[in-house]
Amino acid sequence: MDAATSPEDEVDARLALVELYLRAGRAQDAVACAQIAASCRPDGQTYAALCSAFLAAGDIAKAETAALTAVEKDTLSAEAHLALARVLRAQARPDEALKETNRALELNPYLVEGLELAGALREAAGDFEKCAGFLQKALELNPWNAQLHHRLSEILGPKLGDRAGADQHLKEYAELERMRTEAAQ
């Protein structure tokens, strides 16, 4: 069978398209691709992607169904638990969202998106020390994320009084943004 027509390659291509559509703000296109992926390979990964697409489209009820299905299909999928955590956050259920985020991080401690969500949940709860810790761990794994540097600077300076740390992350943010702008030209 030709690799370009392999069902598994089709699913992987659809999942990549979901990510691209989400980044481009094309939620309905992301939903359509994720639905095809989930119908071809109904597992935790595809249903987690479907959840993300439904969340981006503003359909929390369908996102919840997709997230619960993702966890049911693969209880050991960090992405599935993270998808459920995002739904719980959208439903204003922060304690449950943090529990699912922690489960995702137990399953995959290198999940940058999980560390970011844990930081956001801790920030919303007013626990700025733990928020900063999660964001710093995320930056250790992805030091090229300008927005993470910016978020961390906003926690370190105003919330924790660490002006030097905040200034360093603002410099990193500015440099990464400069590089991105130059690359786009």
Question: What is the reported pLDDT for 17?
Answer: 97
Mean pLDDT, the chain, whole residue set: 96
Asked whether residue 1 carries a pLDDT value surpassing 50, the answer given is no
Answer for the pair 153, 173: CB distance below 8 angstroms, yes or no.
yes
Q: Can you tell me which residue has the tokens 């956050």?
A: 89
Average pLDDT over residues 45-52: 98
Residues 122-143 have pLDDT tens digits of 999 999 999 999 999 999 999 9
* Percent of the chain scoring above 70 in pLDDT: 97
Task: Note the helical H segments in the chain.
Answer: 7-23, 27-40, 44-57, 60-73, 78-90, 94-107, 112-124, 128-141, 146-154, 163-184
Handedness of CA 130, 100, 43, 32 (dihedral sign): negative
Asked whether residue 71 carries a pLDDT value surpassing 90, the answer given is yes
Predicted TM-score (pTM) of this structure: 0.91
Report the distance separating Cα 165 and Cα 26, nearest Å: 36
Average pLDDT over residues 66-84: 98
Domains of the chain in sequence order: 1-109 (1.25.40.10), 110-185 (1.25.40.10)
Residues 138-149 have pLDDT tens digits of 999 999 999 999
Question: What is the reported pLDDT for 147?
Answer: 97
What single-letter amino acid sits at 84?
L
Asked whether residue 5 carries a pLDDT value surpassing 50, the answer given is yes
For 88, other C-beta atoms within 10 Å of its C-beta total 21
Question: What is the reported pLDDT for 7?
Answer: 80
Question: What is the reported pLDDT for 4?
Answer: 54
